[in-house]
Amino acid sequence: MAHDHDHDRHEHDRHDHTHLDWAAMAPRLESQAELFASLYERAMGWLAHEVTEPGLIVDAGSGPGVVSCLFAETFPGARIVAVDGSEPLLERARARAERLGVADRFSTIAGELPEVLGELDYPADLLWASRSLHHLGDQRAALAAFAARLAPGGTLALMEGGLPARYLPRDIGIGRPGLQARLDALEAEWFTRMRTELPGYVAETEDWPALLASAGLKPARTHTFLLDLPAPASERAREYVVGSLSHLRERIPEGFDADDLATLDRLLDPDDEASLHRRADVFVLEAHTVHTAVRAV
């Protein structure tokens, strides 16, 4: 249940634990999270202005632990607990903490959010939930559960929202211009369907500060962080783009515009000169928004 990143934006079905091979997916998820490291580091620097010397930081939906370990490096006096529904991903997180020399203050808890947070030994000074909340059917109830695990004066940092990603120019020289905008609409429909099919689904207006207030917290700040990896893309960035659009291609429903589908297939074909594998104009531009709220002392 991560935030790798979203990389969660393109990994919405990661929570279907019955159908996914987590051990096989872990390297790709870890690589994607590493690609976003600069964005997370800036977010942590921003958080450090209001969360000073936290004793316990909880990464709720940690995935393979890339962000959890960044928290350990940013806050050297804190104990870090990575929480995720996938034990194979948590194994990866523990190995990473060992490699980075932070294992002595790093631990993991396997289980489903938000109930598993009841296993924490003591309340959190900072609870980070990066694109994990929207995988929970009743988001309002989940936020109340998150808030209940905060120490007095503790901060909940919620990464939800932002802008659709961009990987290519509007006109890519093949097909009809504006392909990514049309794919955005398709993905938005899929996301809505994913939400409505979650167990215990409750419709909510996505006013995150208002929802944080409804959980008994005092909304503090909101800030959007940009990941700007210009063309020509690095090999890791290119792999991320190919993986993201390949994942989307697998979910395209019947009746999708045939010309757009043909263009997407060309972009994904490594033998095509116009493909993502060969183009010089591939980039990554993403905006992720973080909302914070504080529990009363």
DSSP string, 113-131: TTGGGGG-SS-EEEEEEES
The answer to whether residue 228 scores a pLDDT higher than 70 is yes
**8 Å CB contact between 61 and 129:** yes
* CA–CA distance, 251 with 229 (Å, rounded to integer): 26
Q: What is the mean pLDDT of residues 249-260?
A: 92
The band of 142, judged by pLDDT with boundaries at 50, 70 and 90, is very high
Quote the mean pLDDT of the chain: 92
Contact in structure between 207 and 143 (CB atoms under 8 Å):
no
Is the predicted pLDDT of residue 106 greater than 90, yes or no? yes
Query: How many degrees, rounded to 5, is the angle at CA 28 between CA 23 and CA 31?
Result: 125
pTM given for the model: 0.92
Whether 147 has a pLDDT exceeding 90, the answer reads: yes
Q: Which residue(s) pair with 19 in the sheet? A: none
- Which residues is 6 bridged to in the sheet? 8
In the chain the beta strands, taken as DSSP E runs, fall at 56-60, 79-84, 106-110, 124-130, 150-166, 218-229, 284-294
Residues paired with residue 218 on neighbouring β-strands, in sequence order? 294
CA gap 63, 1 in Å, rounded: 6
Query: Helix, strand, coil: what percent of the chain each, to 5?
Result: 40, 20, 35
| Neighbour-count burial for 71-103, b at 16+ CB within 10 Å, e otherwise | bbebbeebbbbbbbbbebbbbbbbebbeeeebe
Residue 70 makes CB contacts below 8 A (sequence gap 6+) with: 37, 40, 41, 44
- Rounded to whole angstroms, the Cα distance separating 82 from 64 reads 9
Give yes or no for residue 3 having a pLDDT over 80.
Answer: no
Report whether pLDDT(227) > 60. yes
Confidence of residue 66 (pLDDT cuts 50, 70, 90): very high
Q: What is the pLDDT of residue 138?
A: 97
